[in-house]
Amino acid sequence: ENCKVNIFVICNYFCREFPFFFLSNMSPIKSFLSFAMILCHNRNLFLSILFCSSKIHHSVAFKQVSTRINLSNSNNRKFIRTDGRFSRTRMTANPAASNTSTVQTIGIIGATGKLGRQVLSKLSSRADLDLRCLVRSSEARASLASFYPSATLVRGDVTDASSVENLLEGCDACIAVYGATRRSKLFTDWATRPEDDAKSGHAKQVNYLGVKNIIDVCSRDDSKCKKVVRITGDGEHPWNPFSILINLLGSMAKAWNYEGEHLLRTSNLDYTIIRPGVMSADGPGDTPSLLSVADDGGYLGVSRICYSDVASLVVESVTHPNTARATLAVGTVPESDLSGSKSFAPLLEKIRPDRREFRRDLLEEHFKAVKTGGAVLAATFASFAYFVLSVIGSFLFG
């Protein structure tokens, strides 16, 4: 219903304003700049376009996932929700995974973050586990040591291969819940090329080469660590407005996260890639909702999910046999949605490993989308600045 209202807002605007653009003989560039300027002043129109573009990407993802699901197995029955949001399949357990997986020592990268602390809190309550955490600063080391004295803290950084090697020595599994936090420097990055500097904190170094360091250590013959649980995000829709903004302002974080996923999928490790929705802190008054999981990189739409819920899935994915070599999207659905659950246990029973071909040309698409989006933003700001200066000039000089 909200989508219909937003589409009506957009159509109503185009019917009223676009005839002016064409009848006034304005050039395409001037028409575009005028439209961009109007967007700056019309918040409802701008939000409507963002909302509907998100729905369009949602629809495209739905079609792509539906056509790629293999229905040849008679045990797999296809279920389509009445709202058309996602095509699900009733799935059997992963036959390739072991049900007797034993994990005694876990290496955690990103334990100082909001999600990492939730993961560490849940794991530290288990006396049968030895926990090793990679920390970068002495402040982070002191903070974790005061709350989790039983955890072994290893000084280092994921971008340093020797640090990762020291952390994962003797580990049975690795939990990677870190992510690049560097903000783009739009006016200098093109000249300084921070993506090639290991100490820059650029997303390429952290989200891509950091994952490569983990894989290199775990892939050694003498390594016991063959399980990697990695937190990423939806990087398969580079032209989504939110993806463009995150890439533009966050050093191409989504693009390099997706490239890191590819490294895991082409490795010989039992990876679990988790793509959560919008993560938020737990708090009173939250809208009642149920958990939802889609395997094979399925699209669940944009929803809010608590850090503690994502942490629970991370912990369960370490040993659950069905999560081996699987890419999981996780979010929440309303309580009225029959596909949801209050816990992950029944949802994980339906999970199967990845079986579709994930696109390999998306890095170029991400860069192309950012260049286009950057040009649109630049034109919008230029139009807005010109408008403001014109108003000021007319006010001052008559």
pLDDT at 294: 97
Report the percent of the chain where pLDDT is more than 70: 73
Q: Let me know: does 292 contact 331? Beta carbons within 8 Å.
A: yes
CA nearest to 391, candidates 37, 33, 42? 37
Structure token pair of residue 103: 């994990």
Q: Let me know: does 255 contact 362? Beta carbons within 8 Å.
A: yes
Give pLDDT tens digits for 363-398.
999 999 999 998 988 888 888 888 888 888 888 876
CB atoms within 10 A of CB 21: 17
The span from the CA of 89 to the CA of 80, in Å, is 9
Tell me what the pLDDT averaged over the chain comes to: 80
Is the C-alpha dihedral spanning 359, 361, 364, 368 positive or negative? negative
Has residue 3 got a pLDDT over 70? no
CB atoms within 10 A of CB 205: 24
Query: Which one-letter amino acid corresponds to residue 296?
Result: D
Domains by residue range for the chain, with CATH:
1-74 (no CATH), 91-371 (3.40.50.720)
Helix H segments across 69-182?
114-124, 138-147, 161-168
Has residue 269 got a pLDDT over 60? yes
| Residue 323 neighbours by CB under 8 Å, 6+ apart | 94, 97, 272, 316, 317, 348, 351
CA nearest to 376, candidates 244, 213, 222? 244
pLDDT at 381: 84
Answer left, alpha or beta for residue 179, where phi above 0 means left and psi between -120 and 50 means alpha.
Answer: beta
Q: Let me know: does 94 contact 352? Beta carbons within 8 Å.
A: yes
Mean pLDDT for 92-113 is: 71
Looking at per-residue pLDDT, the higher value among 396 and 248 belongs to 248
CB atoms within 10 A of CB 329: 24
Of the candidate ranges 24-38, 101-115, 117-131, 228-242, the one whose mean pLDDT is the lowest: 24-38
The span from the CA of 189 to the CA of 121, in Å, is 38
